[in-house]
Amino acid sequence: MEDREYDLAFFHRHGFHRRTCAGCGHAFWTLGEFDRCQEAPCRDYGLVGHPVFARPQSPREMRETFLSFFEGRGHTRLRRYPTIARWRNDVFFTQASIYDFQPWVTSGAIPPPANPLTISQPSLRFIDLEEVGRSGRHFTEFEMMAHHAFNRPDHEVYFKERTVELCHELLTSALGADPAAFTYKEEVWEGGGNLGPSLSVGAAGLEVATLVFMEYVRDGDALKPMPLTVVDTGYGLERFTWASQGTKTAYEAVFGREYDELRRTFAPREAAILIDHARAINFLLTDGVVPSNSKEGYFARLLLRRALRILQKTPEAPELLAILDRTGRELALDFPEVGAHRDDLRRVVEAEAEKFQEAIARARQTIRRQEDRVRATGGKVTSDDLLGWYDSLGVPPDLAVEELRAPPPIPEDFYAQVAARHENEAPASDYAETTEVLPEVPASVPPTEVLYYLDPYTVSFDAHVVFADGPFVVLDRTYFYPTGGGQVTDTGHLGDASVTDVERRGPHVFHRLDAPSTVHVGDRVRGRIDPVRRTQLMQHHTATHLLNGALREVLGPHVWQAGAYKAPEAARIDITHYRALSKEELHRVDRRVNEVVRADRPVKSYFESRSEAERRFGFTLYQGGAVPGKELRIVEVEGFDVEACGGTHCTHTSEVGAISVLDVERIQDGVVRLTFASGERALDLREEHDAILKEAARRLGVPVAKLPDGIDRLLAEVEEGRKRAKERRQEDLGATAERLAADPTATETVGGVVLVVASVDLDRNGLMELSRLLTKEPGRVAILAAERDGKGTLFVGSTAPGIAAQSVVDAAKAAFAGKGGGNPAAATAVGEPGAPLRAALHDARTAARRAADS
RNA sequence: GGGCUGGUAGAUCAGCUCGGAAGAUCGCCGGUUUUGCAAACCGGAGGCCUCGGGUUCAAAUCCCGACCAGUCCA
């Protein structure tokens, strides 16, 4: 990045000078007399006891100071976004305020909700988890205060000069800091293929803010200017609060009385971890994470288990729920949604605590057993075992050590070693976008007017072709619904050609025909949508919303849609929930959802400003993922369910027809999938299932109502038959054994050993069982031969101490080219097809006699 | 999304390295003993060794693949 990028008129106007930091080598701008930038490690922390700002402020006051400062300077104040970044597939959590606007707003695809804007965004970062409570300034949950501006070539809001001016005014006028206390360090920010200059604002050892100017796209080695430039700033609320108070650590300043209360029971580090985690958990659960073993759910589990472990180790510790409620109440003063649904939140936490106790109880047992085994063989438990147990059982090392009689030392770098174990794993990859490559559309082509939003019932319309390339046609207006929001595409006809797929990219809707199009730009064409398919898709989509509403009602507001798919044949919805659905719960959902269908409630679809919609309905609007933009399309089932959704919907619930849930499965920890059908399809399926039941009943010869009993009877009979066959076989074998024992040509006694030699017609298992019957007593040897499929099998069983079964078999192998082996008690060999089994039997008998004689 | 554990009797688990006749404990059933119960002792029933392929004369055991559960990491 060239120097001129940072050479701002603002700096010159106010008498800043540019220096190079003797510590890190970065250039910086300052009014002070520094030869180093004012950030650690280039300078020590100097704010303890010497606040940077004029007046101590609580987080609440500081947030308000910040937001109203920018509001007073032309910025629109936005409410926070969810901490779970459902609108992105590259990250789990909102880690900074700019995440709210990536990728669609920053790429220019969608206009920003306000411009310029200011926000204080609760953010989650797990990278410094181990530092929480240790460093005195790290948090997993923190608020990033920001002001953002999005500049288009035709509309420049503000960029570097104004940003730095605002920042400096905030620090010095609004917060009353000494103007000479700050350094603006020159850095380069890069991310997501974009980059630009940035200024890092330091004071008293602390980096208090970062001002990023996104203006380039990396194109190989060259830099291309971005069509949209973005002001991305970040001011840490917690750091600002700390800097205003100058307390020993940030935790005293930020957590205040809550921290003092916990300090009566816990060490500073533990108290800080508990509050920090409790805040993060409150946000996570409020925003719809259910603890689980993967994805975002894992982080909720991680925090909960870490907190539980601390409480477990402390005898007079309060309940986790009490701590969560205490922090939750505090947060609710600023974020009322965190205070809602506390009972449901408690149930989620209780279920999770229970799972942890179970896991630990299981693990304890395993650890004890494994130690016993290791010690029995003269070994000892090593720190490697501790690593293994943590990885596979989830046992924290300190807990494992409690359980062991001879514990190894816990390595200092335990968690680093855990990380090392996972180093070589394949990185998590974004699932590949399988969308077909659509042709480029010239900028002159006007955007498609999408009419399906306004009227889902029109299935025939006229439009003009504005673009055509190969099988793709773009119209000036269309009623065809393109694949999106989990709803598959409409099909139908454009003129005489079949439309097989419809996709939306940017402002254009592409109709894909089954053959290269013969239409030309300017042609007027008639579009006809397959009405049966469209109706079924509408029913399935509206049914999905109804089910979601019923599930939230029955199971609790922790239920969020975690995915959905609506095809004509069936639809499915994945929801977050902490255990499998019980029969009773499913029954209640089924009843409730069909009750809402029958009640014929109106389903309204309309556009509304984002802020108004959020104010009225809250974040649960974003069941299908949060959508940035000024306007949201709202689908509202009156008094029951409201979601931001772009799909085609029925206008009354009764149009959905019956809803049948076909299948419920737990697809992963914390996620339950319901597969269902509605409308005609539900009736078709019901008929099909009915026919299957009747046919099954007919074949069993019972009435449908007696089907389960009939199956039980059938199974019992099968079991009985199996048992009887087994018994008969035992009897037959027993009879054979008796016959052989009584047959002088088969049985002889040599040197005190009873030797039975016989050819029988049995399979391998039969030979074994017969041998077992013949050798129940000690001092017996059975030599049995059988032929199956032309191959001879020789089996020898022995309870005679001097006669090893496998040596008898070995002696006979040569005679029939046999392969096999065994142990002293039993041995088998199978010969080549057609090889003389009789000779082998003879050799075996000879060998056994000789062994018995000696 | 990836790694690691694990899946054997109703329950909890041995056995798996190194392939060769499926085990223990608890529970269950019956008996002895006891006024009765518990306990003790004796005896018994109970297994598609998760499923599907492969290797082998032979697989609970080795290899490959599914499925299920747990766990760690992103």
Separation between Cα atoms, residue A366 and residue A771, nearest integer Å:
40
Q: Is pLDDT above 80 for A430?
A: no
CB A177 within 8 A of CB A54: yes
Span A160-187, average pLDDT: 97
Buried b (16+ CB within 10 A) or exposed e, A255-274: bbebbebbbeebebebbbbb
Asked whether residue A332, judged by its CB, lies under 7 Å from any atom of the DNA or RNA strand B, the reply is no
Mean pLDDT of A554-578: 94
Strand B within 7 A of A817 CB? no
pLDDT of residue A433: 42
| Sign of CA pseudo-dihedral A754, A758, A761, A764 | positive
Residues of A381-391 as b/e, b for ≥16 C-beta within 10 angstroms? beeebbbebbe
CATH of domain A3-248: 3.30.930.10
Amino acid at A577: H
Q: Is the CB of A798 under 7 A from strand B?
A: yes
- CATH 3.30.2320.20 for domain A739-853, yes or no, is no
**pLDDT higher than threshold 60 for residue A428:** no
Pick the CATH number of A535-688 from 3.40.50.300, 3.90.1010.10, 3.30.980.10, 1.10.3720.10: 3.30.980.10
Give me the pLDDT at residue A610, please. Answer: 82
As a CATH number, domain A449-529 is: 2.40.30.130
Residue predicted with more confidence, A106 or A539: A539
Whether nucleic acid strand B comes within 7 Å of the CB of A432, the answer is: no
Mean pLDDT in residue range A418-436:
67
- Alpha-carbon gap, residue A583 to A312, rounded angstroms: 35
CA distances from A320 to A59, A253, A329, A488, A809 (A): 24, 23, 14, 45, 68
Task: Summarize the confidence of residues A553-566 as an average pLDDT.
Answer: 94
Q: Do domains A3-248 and A449-529 have the same CATH topology?
A: no
Concatenate the DSSP letters of all residues of A257-323 into one string: HHHHHHHTTS-HHHHHHHHHHHHHHHHHHHTT----SSHHHHHHHHHHHHHHHHHHH-TTPPPHHHH
Contact, A379 CB vs strand B, < 7 Å: no
pLDDT at A26: 96
**Mutual orientation of helices A383-393 and A414-421 as an angle, nearest 10°?**
60
Percent of chain A at pLDDT above 90? 77
Write down the residue that tokens 């303890």 correspond to. A48
Q: Looking at residue A628, what is its pLDDT?
A: 65
pLDDT digits (tens, 9 = 90+) for A208-228: 999 999 999 888 888 899 889
Q: What is the pLDDT of residue A427?
A: 64
Q: What is the pLDDT of residue A612?
A: 87
Give strand letter and number of the nucleotide nearest A580 (CA to C1').
B69
Q: What is the mean pLDDT of residues A477-488?
A: 93
Q: What is the mean predicted confidence (pLDDT) over A183-187?
A: 97
Q: Quick one: tokens of A74?
A: 């032309």
Backbone angles phi, psi at A278, to 5 degrees: -60, -40
CB atoms within 10 A of CB A820: 18
Q: For A773-779, what is the mean pLDDT? A: 88
A260-268, long-range: CB < 8 A, 24+ apart: A261/A326, A262/A323, A265/A314, A265/A316, A265/A317, A265/A318, A266/A310, A266/A314, A266/A317, A268/A133
User: What number of helices (H) and strands (E) belong to chain A?
Assistant: 22, 30
Q: What is the pLDDT of residues A78-124, one digit of tens each?
A: 999 999 988 887 899 999 999 999 888 888 878 888 999 999 999 99
Helix (H) or strand (E) holding A598: helix A583-598
Chain B nucleotides covered by protein, CB below 7 Å: 1-5, 12-15, 20-21, 46, 56-58, 68-74
> pLDDT tens-digit profile of A115-162?
999 999 999 999 999 999 999 999 999 999 999 999 999 999 999 999
At residue A423, the pLDDT reads 85
| Nearest-10 Cα torsion for A168, A169, A175, A181 | 30
pLDDT at A776: 85
Question: Which pairing describes strands A460-469 and A472-475: parallel, antiparallel, or unpaired?
Answer: antiparallel
**Mean pLDDT, all residues of chain A:** 92
> What does the pLDDT look like over A567-576, one tens digit per residue?
999 999 999 9
For A721, the 3-state DSSP assignment is helix
**Is the confidence at residue A541, as pLDDT, over 70?**
yes
In whole angstroms, give the CA distance from residue A714 to residue A711: 5
pLDDT digit string, tens, across residues A579-631:
989 889 999 999 999 999 999 999 999 999 888 888 899 888 988 876 767 78
Q: Name the 3-class secondary structure at A778.
A: coil
Q: How far apart are CA A645 and CA A633, in angstroms?
A: 6
Q: What residue spans define the domains of chain A?
A: 3-248, 258-396, 449-529, 535-688, 739-853
Determine the nucleotide nearest to A719 by Cα–C1' distance: B48
